[in-house]
Amino acid sequence: MRATGEIEVPGARLRYETAGSGSPVLLLHAAVTDRRMWEPVVPALVDAGLRPIWYDLRGFGESPTEDVEFSPRADLIAVLDALDLSRVVVAGNSRGGLIALDAALEYPERILWLIHIGAFMSGLDRATTPAEAVLFEAMQTAHRAGDALAEARIDARLWLDGPTAAQGRVGGEVREAFISMDLPNCASGRVEGRPVPLNPPADERLGELRIPVLAVVGDWDLVAAQAAAERLESAVTRAHRVVVPGVGHLMPLEAPDVTARLIAEFVTSA
Query: What architecture is domain 2-126+191-269?
Result: 3-Layer(aba) Sandwich (3.40)
The overall pTM is greater than 0.95: yes
Return the pLDDT at 176: 98
The model's pLDDT over 62-78, given as tens digits with 9 standing for 90+, comes to 999 999 999 999 999 99
Round to whole Å and give the CA distance between 149 and 146.
9
pLDDT at 228: 98
Would you list the domain boundaries of the chain?
2-126+191-269, 130-185
pLDDT in 10s for each residue of the chain, 270 residues? 899 999 999 999 999 999 999 999 999 999 999 999 999 999 999 999 999 999 999 999 999 999 999 999 999 999 999 999 999 999 999 999 999 999 999 999 999 999 999 999 999 998 899 999 999 999 999 999 999 999 999 999 999 999 999 999 999 999 999 999 999 999 989 999 999 999 999 999 999 999 999 999 999 999 999 999 999 999 999 999 999 999 999 999 999 999 999 999 999 886
Q: What is the predicted pLDDT for the residue at 268? A: 86
Q: 168 in the Ramachandran plot: left (φ > 0), alpha (ψ -120 to 50) or beta?
A: left
